[in-house]
């Protein structure tokens, strides 16, 4: 079955589709530039990945733009010489969301983007082009003024979670500008994909990209390998994986609600939501032996099929969880002192989120319906359609809290539907594929989009002529959304930073890779 169509400018594939590399038209840069900008004019299109890699004696650039209306992905490319200094006109100048990709390309390969609006190093990768640039010399944005002062927080977090540096430009208690500098946790994930050759090693690596999205990233990797290797999986496995994803969503959302209550100093909410998270992750423990769902997702099959006994305890868990959650949520969202801390705090607009290319929750809380589950269905979402939460538009901390509540309720119902669907499936569970059974398509490109709890996860791989992975690219939703946090802080009291940070709950390691 052909999973792609060709035009002169680009190749069109479905989510998790594979296309031979030679079929992607290589455009001159000026054509590429105008094509990309023309596509991004439409707000239904957004760029999910744009990266470069050395290919033969050239530097090959791949850009992938998702069409949320038609549910397909358009892949464009251009090539530049590896030998000489490359100078290109910046696309980010006219379409800001691409700044994150251009900064990465610029950092890794020394490509200079002319007129780039925010050309700062992204994460100080260890194999960056210019090693004389070091993290301690990061070019912070500054304002010279006697009235203003700077507050620097981090890179060591007060709760010793993950490292990140936040630089506030303040006028008294009011924040004028927040700059977030990450990269302290760079581990070389993409490089490690190439060094580790067995599929098990690579799966475990995927689970470790961001430990709070273990199922999400592992699903993105597994589906990518299956597409690239032509491995067929049955509906039973598809549904099980989706249940895993939705459970992860429930666990993380409720954990974040608990954390937000800690930020409000609302003890009842903090302890009840915290206590409700435990049975959620305990079910994951019961299912696959790990509370974060590590080990659950494997390429081509699973070690932990969802047996009738497990389905039974899952239903019991949901029946017990739902009324308790609803009671506490009603209580919290009606508490005046809590609402005072949530409403109209850290407001961002829909236009701002469109401009920075926010994905996942950060987009949905302003009313942008950007949800891979709905626009590019994968897994069980193509069997049972999922309708994303669409009626939250205020873009403040309250919106982010309420979105979590509504998504938890939706996920509970969705899991129940999937359980019902599973009853009619009589396929036997399949074992994970072994290395010797996996033959990847040579000279091919695959893109896999998965909606994790935070937002859109994008994994992309390119194989060489022997079917070995030549380049692996990971993008966590946090890469885009950190900018949303910075925008939220504009003209806000500095003491409201923690509650905003918790309300976005972004990943440091997902960004740093």
Residues in contact with other proteins by the rule CB under 8 A: 149-153, 158-159, 173, 261-272, 275, 335, 337-338, 340-341, 345, 493-498
Closest approach, Cβ 252 to other proteins, in A, equals: 20
* 428 Cβ contact list (under 8 Å, min separation 6): none
Instruction: State the nearest-atom distance from the C-beta of 177 to other proteins, in Å.
Output: 15
Closest to other proteins by CB, 175 vs 457, is 175
**Residue 323: CB minimum distance to other proteins, A:** 17
Q: How many residues does the chain have?
A: 513
Q: Please identify, using beta-carbon distances, which residue of 256 and 496 lies nearer to other proteins.
A: 496
- Measured CA to CA, the distance from residue 470 to residue 445 in angstroms comes to 10
Question: What phi, psi does 411 have (nearest 5°)?
Answer: -65, -40
Q: For other proteins, give the closer residue by CB, 287 or 321.
A: 321
Residue 22, phi-psi category: left (phi > 0), alpha (psi -120 to 50), beta (remainder): alpha
Measured from the CB atom, is 116 or 258 closer to other proteins?
258
Angstrom distance (rounded) from CA 369 to CA 397: 18
What is d(CA 264, CA 284) in angstroms, rounded to the nearest whole number?
A: 29
Q: How far is the CB of 15 from other proteins (least distance, A)?
A: 39
CB of 159 to other proteins, least distance (A): 5
CB of 175 to other proteins, least distance (A): 10
Q: Which is nearer to other proteins, 329 or 461 (CB)?
A: 329
Residue 274: Cβ-neighbour burial (10 angstroms; 0-12, 13-18, 19+): middle
The distance of closest approach from Cβ of residue 147 to other proteins in the complex, given in angstroms and rounded to an integer, is: 14
CA atoms within 13 A on the CB side of 38: 10
CB of 483 to other proteins, least distance (A): 20
Chain-centre distance for alpha carbon 39: 22
Minimum distance from CB of 338 to other proteins (Å)?
Answer: 5
Are 21 and 58 in contact by the 8 Å Cβ rule? The answer is no
Query: How far is residue 199's CA from residue 193's CA, in Å, rounded to a whole number?
Result: 10
**Token pair belonging to 62:** 């791949």
**Coil, helix or strand for 167?**
strand
Alpha-carbon distance values, 91 to 48, 53, 81, 113, 466 (Å): 14, 18, 19, 8, 34
In the bound state with other proteins, the residue whose beta carbon lies nearer, of 271 and 441, is 271
**112-114/87-89 β-pairing:** parallel
Q: Which is nearer to other proteins, 83 or 495 (CB)?
A: 495
**Cβ distance to other proteins smaller for residue 89 or 340:** 340
Rounded-to-10 torsion of CA 252, 501, 98, 377: 20
Question: Residue 96's closest CA among 115, 78, 79, 69?
Answer: 115
* Residue 172 or 188 with smaller CB distance to other proteins: 172
Q: How far is CA 42 from the centre of its chain?
A: 22
Residue (69 or 493) nearer to other proteins, CB: 493
- Please report how close the Cβ of residue 144 comes to other proteins at its closest, in angstroms: 18
Please, what is the minimum distance in Å from the beta carbon of residue 327 to other proteins?
14
Task: Assign 393 to helix, strand or coil.
Answer: coil
Measured from the CB atom, is 107 or 496 closer to other proteins?
A: 496
**Judged by CB, which is closer to other proteins: 343, or 464?**
343
* Smallest separation, CB 135 to other proteins (Å): 20
User: Could you give the CA distance from residue 482 to residue 511 in angstroms, rounded to a whole number?
Assistant: 9
Per-residue DSSP letter, 433 = P
Using DSSP's 3-state secondary structure scheme, residue 178 falls into strand
Alpha-carbon gap, residue 396 to 408, rounded angstroms: 19
CB count within 10 Å of CB 212 equals 20
CA dihedral sign of residues 369, 328, 344, 480: negative
Cα–Cα–Cα angle for 243, 446, 67, rounded to 5 degrees: 75
CB of 271 to other proteins, least distance (A): 4
- Closest CB to other proteins among residues 252, 345: 345
| Of the candidates 218, 232, 288, 243, the residue with the CA atom closest to the CA atom of residue 381 | 243
């Amino acid at each position: 079955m052909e999973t792609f169509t060709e035009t002169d400018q680009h190749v069109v594939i479905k989510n998790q589709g594979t296309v031979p590399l030679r079929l992607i038209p290589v455009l001159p840069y000026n054509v590429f530039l105008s094509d990309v900008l023309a596509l991004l004019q439409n707000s239904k299109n957004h760029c999910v990945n744009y990266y470069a890699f050395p290919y033969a004696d050239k530097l090959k650039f791949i850009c992938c733009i998702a069409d949320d209306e038609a549910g397909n992905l358009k892949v464009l490319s251009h090539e530049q010489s590896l030998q000489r200094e490359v100078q290109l006109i910046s696309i980010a100048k006219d379409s800001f969301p691409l700044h994150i990709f251009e900064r990465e390309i610029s950092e890794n390969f020394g490509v200079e983007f002319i007129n780039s609006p925010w050309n700062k190093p992204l994460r100080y990768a260890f194999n960056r082009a210019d090693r004389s640039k070091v993290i301690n010399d990061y070019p912070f944005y500054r304002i010279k003024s006697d009235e203003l002062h700077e507050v620097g927080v981090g890179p060591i977090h007060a709760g010793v979670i993950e490292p990140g540096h936040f630089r506030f430009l303040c006028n008294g208690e009011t924040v004028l500008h927040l700059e977030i500098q990450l990269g302290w946790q760079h581990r070389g994930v993409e490089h490690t994909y190439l060094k580790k050759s067995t599929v098990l090693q690579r799966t475990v690596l995927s689970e470790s990209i961001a430990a709070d999205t273990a199922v999400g990233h592992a699903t993105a990797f597994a589906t990518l390998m299956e597409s690239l290797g032509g491995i067929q999986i049955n509906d039973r496995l598809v549904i099980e994986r989706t249940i895993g994803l939705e459970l992860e969503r429930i666990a993380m959302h409720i954990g974040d609600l608990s954390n937000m209550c800690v930020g409000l100093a609302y003890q009842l909410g903090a302890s009840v939501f915290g206590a409700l998270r435990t049975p959620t992750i305990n079910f994951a423990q019961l299912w696959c032996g790990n509370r974060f769902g590590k080990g659950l997702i494997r390429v081509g099959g699973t070690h932990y099929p969802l047996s009738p006994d497990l389905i039974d305890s899952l239903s019991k868990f949901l029946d017990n969880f739902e009324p308790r959650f609803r009671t506490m949520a009603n209580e919290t969202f009606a508490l005046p002192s809590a609402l005072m801390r949530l409403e109209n705090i850290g407001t961002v607009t829909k236009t701002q989120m469109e401009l920075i290319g926010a994905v996942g929750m950060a987009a949905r809380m302003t009313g942008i319906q950007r949800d891979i589950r709905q626009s590019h269905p994968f897994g069980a979402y193509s069997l049972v359609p999922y309708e994303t939460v669409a009626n939250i538009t205020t873009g403040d901390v309250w919106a982010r809290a309420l979105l979590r509540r509504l998504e938890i309720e939706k996920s509970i119902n969705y899991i129940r539907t999937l359980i019902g669907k599973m009853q009619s499936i009589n396929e036997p569970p399949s074992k994970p594929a072994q290395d010797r059974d996996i033959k990847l398509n040579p000279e091919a490109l695959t893109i896999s989009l998965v909606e994790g709890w935070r937002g859109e996860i994008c994994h992309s791989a390119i194989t060489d002529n022997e079917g070995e992975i030549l380049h692996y690219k990971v993008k966590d939703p946090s890469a885009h959304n950190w900018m949303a946090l910075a925008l939220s802080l504009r003209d806000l009291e500095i003491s409201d930073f923690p509650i905003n940070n918790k309300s976005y709950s972004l990943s440091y390691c997902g960004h740093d890779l």
